[in-house]
Amino acid sequence: MGQVDPRHIVAAASDGGYAVGAFNMHNPETTEALVRAAEQAESPVFLQVGRAIVPHLGIHAAYEMTRRIAEESEAEYVIHLDHGPWDEVFEAIKLGFTSIMYDGAHLPFEENIRTTRKVVEVAHEFGIPVEAELGKIPDADEKVDWASYYTDVAEAERFVAETGVDFLAISVGIVHGVPLADPQPLDIARIKEIKAATGIPLVLHGASGLPEHEVREAMAAGVHKFNADTDLRHAFRAGMEDVWRQGDRQLEEAMAEGRDRMVAATVEKMRLYGCAGRARRTVLA
C-alpha cells in the first residue's frame, strides 16, 4: 500500500460517520504492531510520532524508523507529528511528514491564532494538512475545574476561521491516560456545537478508556479522528510481563509477545472506530 492523503481518509470518515485511529509508536516493535494491525483490519492508520518517542530517539530517527517499517508493510498509513512545538513542526515538514499537529494550546489565545496561522501557511505550501488544539486536556485523575478546560465554542469558530486549520483537537472531558477514578463524561452537546460552528472534522486526544457508547456518540457528533496510546501501551506491557513471569526469557521473546498483544488491541480500536475495512488503496505519489 503506502502513504495516503490524510485529508482524504478523514473526509471519508466524515462522510461515512466513522473515525480514523491515530496511535503512537515507541520503538520498532510497537511501530510494527500498528502497521500489522492496519494490515489485518484493512484500515487506514495515523502513525503518530509523539511526545514520548521524540526525547527518546530524536525526531529524525523516529521518523526514519517509522517510514522504513511502514514502507515495508502493506498498510495504508499517514506519518503524523503529534503535539509538535514551533521549531519541531518545521523540521518535520523538511523530513517528509505528511500530517502535522502544531500544539499552541498552552499559548494565549491571540498568540495561538497567530502562530498556528503561520504554520498552516507554510504546511499548506507543501500540501500538508494541519491539526491544532484549542482548550486544555489534563492528565488522568488530575483535579481540574472542567469549565475552564473545555474548548469554547465561539473561540473555536474564530480560531478555525482565522487560522485555516484542517482538523481541530478539542477538550470536552477527555484526559491523557486512563482515569482510575470515575471519568468525566464527554460533553457531546459541546462537540455538536463546535462542529456546527467550525464545519471541520474534530479530533479527540486521550481516547484510551472511553466507554464504547461515548465513542459512538462522539463520532455521530463530529469527531472523525481518535488519538489513543495508553490502552495500547498497556497491552504491550501485559504481553512482556506474562513472558517475564515464566522465568528468565530473552528480551526479544517478551517484546514479540507484547507486539502481538498490541496488534490485537489496535485492531479492536479500529473496529470500534469503524475504520476497519475502510482502506481505499489510494496512495500518495
Just list the catalytic residues: 82
Going 23 to 201 to 133 to 196, the CA torsion angle's sign is negative
Q: Is 87 annotated as a binding residue?
A: no
Q: For the purposes of burial, counting CB atoms within 10 Å of the CB of 110, is it exposed (0-12), middle (13-18) or buried (19 or more)?
A: exposed
Q: Is 116 annotated as a binding residue?
A: no
Q: Is 73 annotated as a binding residue?
A: no
Cβ atoms within 10 Å of 183's Cβ, excluding its own: 17
CA distance 119 to 134: 15
Locate 281 and state its grid cell.
488503496
Q: Is 16 annotated as a binding residue?
A: no
Q: Is 103 annotated as a binding residue?
A: yes
Q: Is 124 annotated as a binding residue?
A: no
Q: For the purposes of burial, counting CB atoms within 10 Å of the CB of 36, is it exposed (0-12), middle (13-18) or buried (19 or more)?
A: buried
CA dihedral 88, 21, 28, 101 (to 10 degrees): 0
In angstroms, what is the C-alpha Rg of the chain? 18
Q: Is 206 annotated as a binding residue?
A: yes
Supply angle C-alpha 30, 123, 121, rounded to 5. Answer: 150
Residue 107 neighbours by CB under 8 Å, 6+ apart? 115
Q: Is 176 annotated as a binding residue?
A: yes
Given a contact cutoff of 8 angstroms between Cβ atoms, the answer to whether 233 and 7 are in contact is no
Q: Is 133 annotated as a binding residue?
A: yes
Q: Is 112 annotated as a binding residue?
A: no
Residue 158, helix vs strand vs coil: helix
Q: Which of 97, 94, 31, 8 is nearest to 275 (CA)?
A: 8
Q: Is 83 annotated as a binding residue?
A: yes
Residue list for the binding site for Zn(2+): 83, 103, 133, 176, 205
Residue list for the binding site for dihydroxyacetone phosphate: 177, 206-208, 227-230
Residue list for the binding site: 83, 103, 133, 176-177, 205-208, 227-230
